[in-house]
Amino acid sequence: MAMERTLILIKPDAIQRGLIGGIIARFEARGLKVIGMKMVKMSAAMSKEHYSHLTSKPFYPDLEKFMTHHPIVAMALEGKECVQVVRDMMGATNARKALPGTIRGDMSMSTSRNIIHGSDSLETAGKEVKRFFKPEELYEYTFAAQEYNYAPDE
Ligand code: UDP
Ligand code: MG
List, for residues 14-72, the tens digit of each pLDDT value.
999 999 999 999 999 999 999 999 999 999 999 999 999 999 999 999 999 999 999 99
Residue 104 Cα to ligand 2 middle (Å): 14
Q: Is residue 151 part of a domain?
A: no
70 is catalytic: no
CATH number at residue 98: 3.30.70.141
Q: Is residue 103 part of a domain?
A: yes
Tell me the C-alpha distance between 38 and 122, whole Å: 21
User: Distance, CA 116 to ligand 1 centroid (Å)?
Assistant: 10
pLDDT interval class at 86 (50, 70, 90) = very high
Catalytic residue among 53, 69, 70, 117: 117
Closest CA to 57 of 104, 112, 133, 137: 112
Contact 76, 138 (CB under 8 A): yes
**Most informative mutation of 93, 108, 128 for ligand 1 (most atoms within 8 A of CB):** 93
Number of domains forming the structure of the chain: 1
Taking the C-alpha atoms of residue 63 and residue 60, their distance in angstroms, rounded to an integer, is: 5
Mean pLDDT of 93-108: 98
For 82, the domain range is 4-138
Output the pLDDT for position 9: 98
Query: In which band, very low, low, confident or very high, does the pLDDT at 11 lie, cut at 50, 70 and 90?
Result: very high
Work out the burial of residue 107: count CB atoms within 10 Å of its CB; fewer than 13 is exposed, 13-18 middle, 19 or more buried: buried
Q: What are the percentages of helix, strand and coil residues in the chain, rounded to 5?
A: 40, 20, 40
Identify the band that residue 2 occupies on the pLDDT scale cut at 50, 70 and 90: confident
Answer yes or no: is 119 within a domain. yes
